[in-house]
Amino acid sequence: MTAPALIRERGRWGGRLTRRPLPENDPEIDRLSDAHRTALAELWLARAASERRVADAFTVVASDLAALTAPAELTALARRAVDDELRHAELARLVASRYAGRELEPPARLPLVVPEHRGASPRLAWTLHVIGHAAMNETFASAYLEASLALTRAPLARAAVQALLSDEIDHARIGWAHLASLRDAERRAVTPFIPSLLAANLAMWRATPRPSLEGDELSRHGMLAGDGVERALTAAVRELIRPGLARLGLHV
């Protein structure tokens, strides 16, 4: 999707997709065991930490797009994504607090490691940051959340997952829009780095701590089991990332 098309798409929704009120009451939470409530509070608090780190990643993306003199509208969307991810972090913290039955402090801030992409020129490295952080990571995030949403039935968790997913899809489009805007020579320069970008993103997602408890009851509240995570990642590569790259002439 090109930058102008993405802007029109967001304009259809008034520029914000995640302003959905969370249910004030969720009787399904009250029926959970203490162990399940603790596990879900931990899950959502970890998600808050992850979302906060993604806000830092989009700060890098916005800066790199500006340095690349990308369309101002696309850079503005990346800056807005920083705010979106900060809002996601707070939303996840609030959901974690509801499961914990008490107000939880924000989790410790996770460090962001920005890849060096040795051998790439500064301009190419900026583009690779945009592709890695936005197109790939946010596509994986969308696939993960979509798989989670398919199982989530508890009102609070379902509303929260829907809110996160609606933004992550747009955030991925920022990266794909930038990739689509590149000239042929620029895309050829990107091609050798695609396998390492893909591998790094997969490794990060696979290294995410798995829940100590699993089961249908927890899946109803937004917890995707380890095998479900792997299926979502594999499907994202097969059905979204590889076809998207091929459509732009990047065959890896």
pLDDT band at 210 (very low <50, low <70, confident <90, very high): confident
A 10 A CB-CB count for 200 gives 15
A 10 A CB-CB count for 148 gives 22
Share of the chain above pLDDT 90, in %: 83
Q: Which domain holds residue 153?
A: 29-247
Domain CATH code at residue 180: 1.20.1260.10
The reported pTM is: 0.90
* Six-digit token string for 117: 């992409």
* Domain-located, residue 59: yes
Counting the structural domains of the chain, the total is: 1
Question: For 109, which DSSP code?
Answer: P
213: left (phi over 0), alpha (psi -120 to 50) or beta: beta
A 10 A CB-CB count for 235 gives 14
Position 9 pLDDT exceeds 70 = no
Cα–Cα distance, 73 to 76 (Å, whole number): 5
* Domain-located, residue 60: yes
* Domain-located, residue 8: no
Position 6 pLDDT exceeds 80 = no
* Six-digit token string for 21: 């009120």
* Domain-located, residue 4: no
**Average pLDDT rounded to a whole number, residues 111-140:** 96
pLDDT band at 124 (very low <50, low <70, confident <90, very high): very high
* Domain-located, residue 14: no
**Average pLDDT rounded to a whole number, residues 214-224:** 91
Which pLDDT belongs to residue 24? Answer: 86
Angle, to 10 degrees, between the axis of helix 3-12 and the axis of helix 155-181?
A: 150
Cα–Cα distance, 95 to 90 (Å, whole number): 9
* Six-digit token string for 149: 């949403």
Q: What is the pLDDT of residues 49-104, one digit of tens each?
A: 999 999 999 999 999 999 999 999 999 999 999 999 999 999 999 999 999 999 99
Which pLDDT belongs to residue 8? Answer: 34
* Domain-located, residue 11: no
* Domain-located, residue 202: yes
What is the residue type of 111?
P
* Domain-located, residue 61: yes
Helix (H) or strand (E) segment spanning residue 128: helix 122-130
